[in-house]
Amino acid sequence: MFRQAVASSSRLARPARPAVRTARPALVPRRALHPSRTAPQASSVTVHAPDDKLSFQGGFRVATPLTPDPISRYEHLVHIGTLRPDDSQRAIIKRLERLWNDLKEYDPGPVPPQSMEITPSFFGKFFTKTPTVPPPTVPLDKVPKGLYLYGSVGTGKTMLMDLFHSTLPPRFADKQQLGSTRIHFHSFMLDVLHRQHQVTARYQKLGKGQKDALPEVARSLAAEGRVLCFDEFQVTDIVTAMILRQLLERLMGFGVVCVMTSNRHPDELYINGIQRQSFIPAIELIKERFEIVDLDSGTDYRKIPRALSHVYFSPLTPENRSEVSKLFHSMAESDPVSNVILANRKIPIWGRELVVPESSGSVARFTFADLCNKPLSAADYIEVTNTFKTVFVEDVPRMGLGERDQARRFITFIDACYENRTKLFISSEVPIFQVFSNESGTAADDGHMRAVMDDLGLSADEVGSSSLFSGDEELFAFARCVSRLSQMGTKEWSELTG
């Protein structure tokens, strides 16, 4: 059961439960990929049926060979025009092929069930059963080396990972055998923390409150998939940093093989983070047990021209407000889930309620203040985007230093919309790409910002300049948000989310 990740470490202990989501390639309509796949309740484990002969790329269904290897799948997609030929990507595919061949012959054996030990009670007359976690079942040097794919925005990381995941050998594609999981890293960590919370609570009821829950968490994760694909691996909080090495070691000890994509080389993870020295062992483990692959080839796949869709409205004129309102009512009144528009609908999230000002069955309407002027976290935004396929956000202001917290929440909300393939409509004070910008100056005035804009294929005049973001992690989050807003404003996005 994989849940979405929260942005703030202060709220990580009480994650939300997202709806079932299967993994799909970044350029792919997520609801359409592999119709033969199924997922167990409350799980995002992607299951590939052995007889699956269809794949989706770029919004189109294409025939593919029966359980092909990564090179064959890639060449097929190039041949039919779904992907462009790229010598750099071909070289990367060969790395995927190495791991694919390793997995063909790899058999880690079954994951042992959680066992129970019999312990005497205080008076010695009664006995109780206490959960125990079996020791690792596979030596680390017997687990195939994983892959760590890193590169800047637009290098095709997610596409390559999804191509690999879609071509896994049948035993890893079948949940009844070894199984596999493809998940966003934030979602994975939220699920880890949720499981840790559950296991700890169970131990406390049994009088074992100080017992380490992480081994049982790793065992249960391994039981759901022996190949684990993380998208957008990054470490931004001390909670993740402190548990990551032990978690990875435990997973590998149960025979789990990991594939990760990231924007950073392992040595650049958690730079300037609190107690980073304690995270160094995790970096060393990644460098030892993963093949590190640099994806930067000079080709930015997000810069390929795409037609824009009219989903962003500025400035906040009466005409634009009226247009957005008409759009909302039109979509809500034709909502196939329910066309009844409710006011102040309440969504329960772990014992509290999130109020949705206006909504139909799958269309919701908020103001910026509703979403960002309150102490909400990624868990709240994920619940919103799990519940509603279309979300309207109105009255987004230009944000300055006084709105730093609101800006961070807005970025977290956009991340949740992007991950859940939400159709988004926004009305804003200034053009959407400039909501983080100062009233004067451009990105060209700042070296960091200029590099970010160049990576995204946006001009400095389009985006402006911002004093909101200074650290590397904040600049990356800003860059990702602008990139995603750009992608979510295209007709391609509108079609694949529709």
- Angle at alpha carbon of residue 234, lines to 431 and 243, rounded to 5°: 140
Q: How confident is the model at residue 390 (pLDDT cuts 50, 70, 90)?
A: very high
Contacts of 350 (CB under 8 A, 6+ apart): 14, 15, 16, 379
Co-location of 429 and 458 in the same domain: yes
> How many of the other CB atoms lie within 10 Å of CB of 109?
11
Co-location of 492 and 388 in the same domain: yes
Co-location of 142 and 179 in the same domain: yes
Does 4 fall in a domain?
Answer: no
Q: Which of 299, 314, 338 is the last residue of a domain?
A: 299
Share of the chain above pLDDT 70, in %: 70
Which of the residue ranges 36-45, 379-388, 467-476 has the most confident prediction, judged by mean pLDDT? 379-388
Report pLDDT for 128: 54
**Number of domains within the chain:** 2
Higher pLDDT among residues 298 and 16, named by residue? 298
Co-location of 200 and 310 in the same domain: no
177-198 average pLDDT score: 88
Co-location of 312 and 294 in the same domain: no
Q: How confident is the model at residue 28 (pLDDT cuts 50, 70, 90)?
A: very low
Does 492 fall in a domain?
Answer: yes
Q: How confident is the model at residue 285 (pLDDT cuts 50, 70, 90)?
A: very high
Report pLDDT for 215: 92
Q: What is the pTM of this model?
A: 0.59
- Each residue's pLDDT tens digit, 401-446: 778 889 889 999 998 898 888 999 999 999 888 888 765 444 444 4
59-78 average pLDDT score: 66
Q: Indicate if the pLDDT at residue 251 is higher than 80.
A: yes
Q: Please, how many CA atoms are within 13 Å of residue 116, restricted to the half-sphere of its CB?
A: 8
428: helix, strand or coil: strand
238-247 average pLDDT score: 89
Q: Do 302 and 455 touch, CB atoms closer than 8 A?
A: no
Q: How confident is the model at residue 338 (pLDDT cuts 50, 70, 90)?
A: very high
Co-location of 398 and 459 in the same domain: yes
Co-location of 243 and 280 in the same domain: yes
Question: Rounded to an integer, what distance in angstroms lies between the CA atom of residue 136 and that of residue 152?
Answer: 36
Q: Indicate if the pLDDT at residue 98 is higher than 90.
A: yes
130-159 average pLDDT score: 81
Which of the residue ranges 89-98, 107-116, 155-164 has the most confident prediction, judged by mean pLDDT? 89-98
Does 40 fall in a domain?
Answer: yes
Q: Indicate if the pLDDT at residue 84 is higher than 90.
A: no
Q: Indicate if the pLDDT at residue 7 is higher than 60.
A: no
Report pLDDT for 401: 72
For every residue of 29-95, DSSP letters joined together read -TTTS-TT----TT-------TT--EEEETTEEEE--SS--HHHHHHHHHHTTSS---HHHHHHHHH
DSSP H helical ranges for 290-402: 318-333, 368-372, 378-387
Report pLDDT for 443: 42
The 8-class DSSP code of residue 458 comes to -
Co-location of 215 and 160 in the same domain: yes
Contacts of 23 (CB under 8 A, 6+ apart): 33, 44, 46, 162, 165, 181, 182, 183, 229
The H or E element containing residue 480 is: helix 472-488
Lowest-confidence pick of 192-201, 339-348, 368-377, 400-409: 400-409
Does 1 fall in a domain?
Answer: no
What's the one-letter identity of residue 472?
D
Does 201 fall in a domain?
Answer: yes
Report pLDDT for 275: 85
Q: How confident is the model at residue 21 (pLDDT cuts 50, 70, 90)?
A: very low
Q: Which two tokens stand for residue 334?
A: 């034709």
Instruction: Pick the closest to residue 432 from 452, 409, 406, 414 (CA basis).
Output: 414
Report pLDDT for 351: 72
Does 2 fall in a domain?
Answer: no
Higher pLDDT among residues 445 and 116, named by residue? 116
What's the one-letter identity of residue 364?
A
Residues 271-309 as b/e (b if ≥16 CB within 10 A, e otherwise) read eebeeeeebeebbebbeebbebbebebebbbbeeeeeeb
Co-location of 64 and 179 in the same domain: yes
- Each residue's pLDDT tens digit, 445-489: 445 555 555 555 555 554 455 555 555 566 667 777 887 888 888
Co-location of 473 and 423 in the same domain: yes
Question: Rounded to an integer, what distance in angstroms lies between the CA atom of residue 69 and that of residue 99?
Answer: 10
Q: Which of 255, 270, 299 is the last residue of a domain?
A: 299
Does 66 fall in a domain?
Answer: yes
N residues, the chain: 498
Report pLDDT for 490: 81
Q: Do 458 and 433 touch, CB atoms closer than 8 A?
A: yes
Q: Which of 237, 264, 299 is the last residue of a domain?
A: 299
Report pLDDT for 486: 82
For every residue of 325-338, DSSP letters joined together read HHHHHHHHHT-SS-
Question: Rounded to an integer, what distance in angstroms lies between the CA atom of residue 108 and that of residue 136?
Answer: 11
Burial of 258 (0-12, 13-18, 19+ CB in 10 A): buried
CATH number at residue 30: 3.40.50.300
Q: Indicate if the pLDDT at residue 345 is higher than 70.
A: yes
Q: Do 486 and 426 touch, CB atoms closer than 8 A?
A: no
Co-location of 292 and 325 in the same domain: no
Does 295 fall in a domain?
Answer: yes
- As a whole number, the mean pLDDT across the chain is 76
Report pLDDT for 429: 93
Residues 46-82 as b/e (b if ≥16 CB within 10 A, e otherwise) read bbbbeebeebbbbeeebebeebbbbeebbebbeeeeb
Structural domain for 410, as ranges: 305-497
Co-location of 153 and 119 in the same domain: yes
Contacts of 94 (CB under 8 A, 6+ apart): 71
Q: Do 7 and 378 touch, CB atoms closer than 8 A?
A: yes
The 8-class DSSP code of residue 127 comes to E
